[in-house]
Homo-oligomer: A and B are copies of this chain.
Amino acid sequence: MELLENRIRKDGIVKAGNVLKVDSFLNHQIDIELLNEIGKEFKRIFGNEGITKILTVEASGIAIAAIVAQYFNVPVVFAKKSQSINLDGSVYQTKIESFTHKRVYDVIVSKKYLSPDDRILVVDDFLANGCAADGLIDIIKESGATLVGVGIIIEKGFQDGGKRLRERGVRVESLAIVDSMNDETGEITFRH
């Protein structure tokens, strides 16, 4: 998606340790107009799949999911980071390791909001090692719902999450795939 790649080139900041900061338009300050263009693009890609729900994980996926959901006329469900294991059986739960924060979160989704009839599109801002997507896919499987695909804004193509998910047969559609980036020059190379 050219508009997105141009925006990442213009406003993304490459930091040491393969960190790409997009705080100014995607996950701290959020450019809602850009998200609407992203919503239209996901609608173009997944529009004929009978999607019934958009699933993401807090916090940075939520704005994306909310705007994207408008193009599908469906609700959003976001997985919550949990302080403690829930023992009452009313939730699906899994563990997600954050690349950015170097820690493991328990995340939960209430059983009330995913059902075997649901056809789910997972959306998130980044795909790096794929742990967040893995966790959400685990939850979808446990619920009996159908995973239609995973819509990602920025995939780090030099980490193995996307490759691994695609090899498992998951449809992953990333609007920008970064093949390499250089924190000294700031240069970012996209896959086409």
Contact = CB atoms under 8 A, between A and B. Distances in A.
Contacts of A36: 70
Interface in A114-146: none
Interface stretch (A1-9, A75-83, A183-191): A75-83
Contacts of A112: 23-24, 29
A63 to B, nearest CB: 4
A77 B32 CA distance: 11
A153 interface: no
Contacts of A28: 77-78, 80, 109-110, 113
A106 to B, nearest CB: 14
Task: Determine the main DSSP class of A at the interface with B.
Answer: mixed
A192 interface: no
Report, as a range, how many residues of chain A touch the other chain.
20 to 34
A20 interface: no
A161 B77 CA distance: 29
A31 interface: yes
Contact of A32 (B59, B76, B109, B113): B76
A83 B73 CA distance: 35
Interface string A25-64: 1001111110110000000000000000000001100110
Given A59-B58, A80-B59, A75 B32 contact: yes
B30 A77 contact: yes
Given A66-B63, A80-B59, A75 B110 contact: no
11 contacts: A24-B112, A28-B78, A29-B112, A30-B66, A30-B76, A32-B70, A58-B59, A59-B62, A59-B78, A62-B66, A66-B66
Interface of A: 23-25, 28-33, 35-36, 58-59, 62-63, 65-67, 69-70, 73-78, 80-81, 83, 101, 109-110, 112-113
